[in-house]
Chain A
Amino acid sequence: MADILFETKGVGKIYGTNTVLHDIDMKIHSGEVIGLIGENGAGKSTLMKLISGVEAPSMGEMFYMGKPYKATSIINANQQGIGMVFQEQSLVANLTIAQNIYLGREKKYSSAGIVNWGRMNRDARTALERMDLDVDPGKKVRDIDMATREMVEIAKVLDVVTEAAEGRAIILLDEPTTVFSDDEIQEMYKQIRKMKAAGNGIVFISHHLDEILEITDTIYVFKDGEETAVFPTKEADMNVLYEKMVGRSTTGEFYVEAKQTVPEKDVVLKVQDLSLFGAFNHVSFELHKGEVLALAGLDGSGNEDVCNVLVGQEAPTAGKILMNGKEVRFANSYQARKNGILSVPKDRRDEGMVSILSIEDNITISSWNHLKQGPLLSSKKLKAAAEKWIKEARIKCPGLKARISQLSGGNAQKVIFARALESGCQVLILNHPTRGVDIGAKQEIYRLIREMTEQGHAIIVLGDTLDECLGLASKVIVFRDGMVSGSFDCPVDGKPSQQEVVHFMM
């Protein structure tokens, strides 16, 4: 094969106490398209961030064209010949296409601080033609459609890296096809083949396995931050990919399955034909007392949006939500809580913790209305509630009055769980409850979830992995592209395999 353009040796990344990427060896050859697949949180995007200079690796080495490679920023990586097209588009909508392509590189076109827009537009046209794009570079980005924006974004990156390392550049594409129609995807393939023929190395991330099989030469499979398989695309088929991606299932003991409750008859929450325009359509399900219901699906499949609607953060476009048989509508999370639905948010630090308040206040924040003495908060009641949960949830902390920001990830998460339990809400929505906590804390959280159902709470969980969804839930509903694609009963002795379910996700 052609020579190696880029190589990682034992690269990894640690955030706080959490290893998200471990020991990655990857070789990108000249003229090669690499497909990178894995579940959400498998570490694909993290690796891309390390290569494109967004973050620095915590371990390992990288080499570019045989020399040790280090990028201090995206721009720095660009100047060396490595560019990335991000999942979320990064074009500035109120600038023109040309201004976006040369954003940060205007110097080339300016003298005495005055930019020669005509010359910039001419060069932009060349950059766009390289991608067979026939749009006016003087148009504002807000006036072009999403698919064209994506192509402009790629044209921009291609232009930057071509300038730095023509024919030996590395181009990273993170789910570039999400906004494309079938024809546009074909056009995209054509462009990738052109970049490839020029000798560049390309990394292509997608959840659509057919695309991966179509366009790539080599496939890397990631699982929980590790590289679980590497093989040439011609030796792969869908089933092999599914199998490698989900990996081995964890034992039932890990998920405390012995304590999984059988859901009771009473329906606590009923969702009928619920839709949110542009996010999910026609979703119906029932949630029973003592049940753990998992909503499985990839990022953007609609499962998270369902939860946002259930806690009042979004207003549904159509459909009904019934609590204990009565139709409800929430304008905000406060009304949802009043009606008995509370969520444990995904992003603990940004959406869950109030870091200037004490552990005690963070536990009781959703229950202040009950913990009063006359018009004032009762410090005795607050203390009693906090003490009770610190004991029950085994929260390790320096004291009730210590700030929650002093706690480690797992203990902080247990505080948020304690808050949900103290609130007395019937329905608890656990949005990625174990994200970013170590394995010991994970198990304690699973144990807490089992205790919640024993006490009669009904739980909706968005799991971090499919394995977790299956392990915890007594029923799994699978989302794909905003629709329910399948649903599985998961009794303790008859859990479906991950392979059976993953087909409905991708």
Chain B
Amino acid sequence: MKNKWSEMLDTLSVDQQFVVKAENDAKMDKVRRFAPLILLVVMTAIGAVSQKNFFSWANIVNIMYQMSIPLVISVGLSFVLLLGSIDLSIEGMMGFAGSFVAFLVANKSNGNNFGILGVLLVVLIGAAVGAVTGILHTKARIASFIVTYAVGSIMAGIAVLVYRGTPIQVTDQMFVAISQGKLFGIPYITLIAFAVFLVGAVIMNYTAFGRAVFAIGDNETAAASAGINIARAKIKVYALCGCTAAIAGVLQCMRLKLGQSSLGTNQMFPVVTAIVLGGGSVSGGKGGSLQSFVGVLIYAELANWLTLMGVDTNMKKVIQGVIIIIAVALTVTHDRKTVAK
């Protein structure tokens, strides 16, 4: 068999070959890391050429607005996927957070008016439930997709119990102000989403915890033998993911001024796909906050472009599926040892 290395076989010692190979791997790795960025540029270029409105300020704001909620979800989910785990409780958590916050702030169903305190309480509950999920996952050793599915189901159920069948309409002034307010033309919801993203990025890239998550996702045995507290890191990750899912639920409630269990429906898988598009991996150890951002942006641009082109909703689904398969196939490692599961 011949490949690009065959002519170097006899001219280099095995030692030198190793160095050449390692350097080549590093180079290929860099290319792969930039692939999502290239995809983003191509996507943007296609959009700009085919639709003159694509680059209008109004449309740019529209794209940013569309990506707000997915971006917030992606903050916590990026950590979970980095570990190589999954959090299926996000949708249920969003439904719960949206419903419960609607119950707590000024609304048409009861006399509550806890305002910002209610929001903080819901976000805190999100983090606490996430932490419990993490404890069940690490201490009771229940597989992540099972335990998170169960917790998600519990939260979605509680959401309906909160409003006893009739979704709560929100009248809170703060909610109305935030959902309609803009700064330099950018909606407050988008600004909040970007702020959450920034906090997540700092945690991921500049704290010992964030770096431990990378280490665990890449090689848990090695991280453990280096004396990293694996269980604690994982619990923190689920707490963080619960927290951002709750924030996403609250933002969703602000947008619709309605609290109901279905606020989270079909919100999670598009974000998983977006993170993978950005260079993350469902088997862990790959990606990062910036990669997730790029992924979410690509996904939002794609959806926006298809809408501008006037593509039929069902056709849109087909095209999105095809593009995702192609993009992911191009960006993943094609290593023989890599097992796709």
Residues in A lying within 8 Å of B, measured CB to CB: 14, 16-17, 311, 332-334, 336-338, 342-343, 345, 350-357, 361, 365-366, 368-369, 372, 375-377, 402-403, 405-408, 419, 423
21 A-B residue contacts at CB 8 Å?
Answer: A14-B14, A17-B14, A332-B230, A334-B228, A334-B230, A337-B227, A338-B227, A342-B227, A345-B221, A351-B221, A351-B222, A355-B218, A355-B219, A356-B214, A357-B218, A368-B212, A369-B208, A376-B202, A377-B206, A403-B26, A403-B29
Evaluate contact between A402 and B221: CB separation under 8 angstroms.
no
Chain B residue, CB-CB nearest to A350:
B221
Bound CA span A338–B219, Å: 21
Complex CA distance for A366 and B226, rounded to whole angstroms: 5
Contact B219–A354 (Cβ < 8 Å)? yes
Q: Once the chains bind, are B225 and A333 in contact (CB under 8 Å)?
A: yes
Given A17-B14, A368-B211, verify A354-B229 contact (CB < 8 Å).
Answer: no
Query: How far is the CB of A438 from the nearest CB of chain B, in Å?
Result: 8
Q: Is A345 within 8 A of B222, CB to CB?
A: yes
Also in contact, A408 and B15, with CB within 8 A (given A357-B214, A376-B206): yes
Q: Is the CB of A408 within 8 A of B18?
A: yes
A17 to B202, CA, bound (A): 40
Interface string of B200-214 (1 = CB under 8 A from A): 001000111001101
When the two chains form the complex, which single residue of A337, A354, A376, A402 contacts B222, counting CB atoms closer than 8 Å? A354
Q: In the complex, which residue of chain B has the Cβ closest to the Cβ of A361?
A: B211
Question: Chain B, interface size: which category?
Answer: 20 to 34
Q: Smallest distance from the beta carbon of A18 to chain B beta carbons, Å?
A: 9
B224 adjacent to A406 (CB under 8 Å): no
Interface string of B229-268 (1 = CB under 8 A from A): 1111000000000000000000000000000000000000
Main secondary structure of the interface of A (DSSP, over half): mixed
**Complex contacts, A369 vs chain B, CB 8 Å:** 208
Could you tell me if A365 and B226 are in contact, using CB atoms closer than 8 angstroms? yes
In-complex Cβ contact of B207 among A311, A351, A375, A408 (8 A): A375
B8 at the interface (CB under 8 A from A): no
Distance to closest chain B CB from A433 (angstroms): 14
Note all chain B residues with C-beta closer than 8 A to A338.
227
Chain A residues whose C-beta falls within 8 Å of the C-beta of B219 in the assembled complex: 350-351, 353-355
Chain A: which residue is nearest B227 at the CB level?
Answer: A337
- Is B285 in contact with A356, judged by CB distance below 8 angstroms? yes
Q: How close is B336's CB to chain A, nearest CB, in angstroms?
A: 15
Residues of A within 8 A of B18 (CB): 16-17, 408
B185 to chain A, nearest CB (A): 33
B202 CB contacts on chain A under 8 angstroms: 376
A419's partner among B214, B226, B230 (CB-CB below 8 A) is B226
Assembled-state Cα–Cα distance A333/B230 (Å): 9
Please judge, given known A-B contacts A376-B206, A406-B22, whether A366 and B15 are in contact too, CB under 8 Å.
no
Question: Are B206 and A365 closer than 8 Å at their CB atoms?
Answer: no
Cβ-based interface call for B105 (8 A): no
B207 adjacent to A377 (CB under 8 Å) = yes
- Looking at B19, B23, B208, B227, which has the most chain A CB atoms within 10 Å of its CB? B227
Question: Which of B23, B212, B218 is in CB contact (< 8 Å) with A356?
Answer: B218
Question: In the bound complex, how far is the Cα of B214 from the Cα of A354, in angstroms?
Answer: 9
Interface residues of B (CB under 8 A from A): 14-15, 18-19, 22-23, 25-26, 29, 202, 206-208, 211-212, 214-215, 218-219, 221-232, 285-286
| Cβ contact within 8 Å between A333 and B208 | no
Q: Which residues of A have CB within 8 Å of B230?
A: 332, 334
Chain A residues within an 8 Å CB radius of B15: 17, 408
Which of B14, B26, B211, B226 has the most A CB atoms < 10 Å from its CB? Answer: B226
Chain B residue contacts of A365, Cβ below 8 A? 211, 215, 223, 226, 228
* List of B residues within 8 angstroms of A407 by Cβ: 22
Residues from chain B with a CB closer than 8 A to the CB of A361 are: 211, 215
Q: Are A406 and B26 in contact, with the CB atoms below 8 A? A: yes
In the bound complex, residues from chain A placing their C-beta under 8 Å from that of B22 are 405-407
Nearest chain B CB to A363 CB, angstrom units? 10
New contact pairs (16) apart from A365-B223, A365-B228, CB-CB < 8 Å: A14-B14, A17-B14, A17-B18, A333-B224, A334-B229, A342-B227, A343-B225, A352-B225, A354-B223, A354-B226, A355-B218, A365-B226, A366-B226, A369-B208, A403-B29, A419-B226
How many angstroms from the CA of A342 to the CA of B319 in the assembled complex? 53
Q: Report whether B218 and A354 are in contact in the complex, using a CB–CB cutoff of 8 Å.
A: yes
A361 vs B207: C-alpha distance when bound (angstroms): 12
Question: In the assembly, what is the distance between CA of A270 and CA of B22, in Å?
Answer: 43
Query: Do B286 and A356 touch (CB < 8 A)?
Result: yes
Task: Please tell me which one of the listed residues A17, A311, A377 contacts residue B211 in the complex, with CB atoms under 8 A apart.
Answer: A377
Tell me the minimal C-beta distance from A154 to chain B in angstroms. 32
Nearest residue (CB) in A for B223 is A354
Q: How far apart are the CA atoms of A298 and B223 in the complex, in Å? A: 28
When C-beta atoms are compared, the residue in chain B nearest to A337 turns out to be: B227
Contacts of A343 in B (CB 8 A): 225
Instruction: Establish whether residues B227 and A357, one from each chain, have CB atoms under 8 Å apart when the complex forms.
Output: no
**Roughly how many angstroms separate A408 CA and B218 CA in the complex, as a whole number?**
19
Q: In the assembly, what is the distance between CA of A354 and CA of B232, in Å?
A: 19
Residues in B whose Cβ lies below 8 Å from that of A357: 211, 214-215, 218
In the complex, which residues of chain A have a beta carbon less than 8 angstroms from the beta carbon of B224? 332-334
Shortest beta-carbon distance from B159 to chain A in Å:
34
* Nearest CB in chain B to that of A334: its residue: B229
Docked Cα-Cα span, A334 to B215, in Å, equals 14
Contact among A366, A376, A377, A405 with B25 in the assembled complex (CB-CB below 8 Å): A405
In the assembled complex, the CB of A401 is this many whole angstroms from the nearest CB of chain B, namely 11
Asked if residues A350 and B222 are in contact (CB atoms below 8 Å), the reply is yes
Contacts of A17 in B (CB 8 A): 14-15, 18
CA distance A274 to B14 in the complex (A): 45
- Docked CA distance A366–B208 (Å): 10
| Interchain CA distance A377-B212 in the complex, whole Å | 12
- Report A407 CB to chain B, min CB distance, Å: 8
Contact B208 A377 (CB under 8 A): yes
Q: Across chains A and B, which 4 residue pairs bring their CB atoms closest together, nearest first?
A: A337-B227, A368-B208, A334-B229, A406-B22
- On whether the beta carbons of B231 and A332 are closer than 8 Å, the reply is yes
- Given contacts A372-B208, A376-B207, is CB(A353)–CB(B14) below 8 Å? no
CA distance A354 to B212 in the complex (A): 10
| Chain A residue, CB-CB nearest to B206 | A376
Give the residue name and chain of the B residue nearest to A378 (CB).
B206
CB distance from A104 to the nearest CB of B (A): 21
Residues of A within 8 A of B225 (CB): 311, 333, 343, 345, 351-352
Which residues from chain B contact A368 at a C-beta distance below 8 Å? Answer: 208, 211-212
For A368, the closest partner residue in chain B by CB is: B208
Minimal beta-carbon separation of A469 from chain B (angstroms)? 22
Q: For the complex, what is the distance from the CA of A355 to the CA of B231, rounded to whole Å?
A: 21
Q: Which A residues lie within 8 Å of B206 (CB)?
A: 376-377
CA distance A350 to B219 in the complex (A): 7
A352: B residues at CB distance < 8 A: 222, 225-226
Contact of A406 among B23, B218, B226, B231 (CB under 8 A): B23
Q: How far is A481 from B207 in the complex, measured between Cα atoms in Å?
A: 46
Distance, CA A343 to CA B221, complexed state (A)? 12
Q: How far is the CB of B305 from chain A (nearest CB, A)?
A: 33
A17, B232: Cα distance in complex, Å: 39
The 8 Å CB contact of B227, one of A351, A354, A403, A423, is A423
